[in-house]
């Protein structure tokens, strides 16, 4: 029983969250493939799919949206769960953050069993345009790591229990 954990990221934060999810699923004796969403062209044979996308300016990462469009409407979709990462504050830990309109579209298209939003990370160490934005946001007090690994791992354990229960 193999689970696909696919992610769409620019700065690597969402990929790290996908890794934490994969660790928990493996800890529940599930086989896991972790792959960038853009590289996934087939989901046949997976017992379940977890898809994560970074949020930028209230939009969901393009690669996550394209993944959802690629597999929407398939007659035999495995169970799907979605996550978003991105609020650059503690809001995701304090209350449920609703999915962006694009993530909501993916929820419907993939008949997802659930969606959660986790805090994001914006590092001033990042190079290129993202580094410029991070440095500017840092000067405004918004850069930093707002991810909560314990919350991510608890969510992944819930998914593992649901998968194992059938």
Question: Taking 60 as the threshold, does the pLDDT of residue 18 lie above it?
Answer: yes
What whole-number distance in Å separates Cα of residue 36 and Cα of residue 93? Answer: 25
CATH number at 2-165: 3.40.50.360
What whole-number distance in Å separates Cα of residue 5 and Cα of residue 101? Answer: 22
Question: Taking 70 as the threshold, does the pLDDT of residue 97 lie above it?
Answer: yes
What's the angle, vertex CA 101, arms to CA 98 and CA 105, rounded to 5? 110
Question: Taking 50 as the threshold, does the pLDDT of residue 34 lie above it?
Answer: yes
Q: Among candidates 24, 8, 81, 70, which has minimal Cα distance to 43?
A: 70
Average pLDDT, stretch 87-96? 85
Q: Is the pTM of this model over 0.85?
A: yes
Query: What is the average pLDDT value for the chain, to the nearest integer?
Result: 88
57 versus 95: which is more confidently predicted? Answer: 95
| pLDDT, tens digit, 9 for 90 and up, residues 118-142 | 998 876 555 444 555 545 554 455 5
Residue 138: how many other CB atoms lie within 10 Å: 14
pLDDT grade for 44, boundaries at 50, 70 and 90: very high
The per-residue pLDDT for 87 is: 78
Domain ranges, ordered by start, for the chain: 2-165
The per-residue pLDDT for 129 is: 45
The CA-based dihedral angle spanning residues 152, 98, 107, 133, taken in that order and rounded to the nearest 10 degrees:
-70
46-55, 90-99, 140-149, range with the lowest pLDDT: 140-149
Question: Taking 70 as the threshold, does the pLDDT of residue 57 lie above it?
Answer: yes
């Amino acid at each position: 029983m193999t689970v696909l954990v696919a992610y769409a990221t620019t700065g690597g934060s969402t990929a790290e969250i996908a890794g934490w999810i994969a660790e928990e699923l493996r800890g529940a004796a599930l086989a896991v493939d972790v792959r960038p969403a853009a590289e996934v062209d087939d989901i046949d044979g997976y017992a379940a799919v977890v898809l994560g996308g970074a949020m930028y300016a209230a939009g969901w990462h393009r690669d996550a949206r394209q993944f959802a469009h690629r597999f929407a409407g398939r007659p035999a979709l495995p169970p799907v769960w979605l996550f978003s990462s991105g609020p650059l504050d503690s809001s995701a830990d304090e209350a449920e953050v609703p999915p962006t309109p694009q993530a909501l579209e993916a929820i419907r298209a993939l008949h997802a069993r659930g969606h959660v939003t986790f805090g994001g990370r914006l590092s001033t160490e990042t190079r290129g345009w993202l580094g410029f934005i991070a440095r500017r946001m840092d000067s405004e007090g918004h850069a930093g790591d707002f991810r909560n690994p314990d919350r991510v791992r608890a969510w992944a354990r819930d998914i593992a229990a649901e998968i194992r229960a059938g």
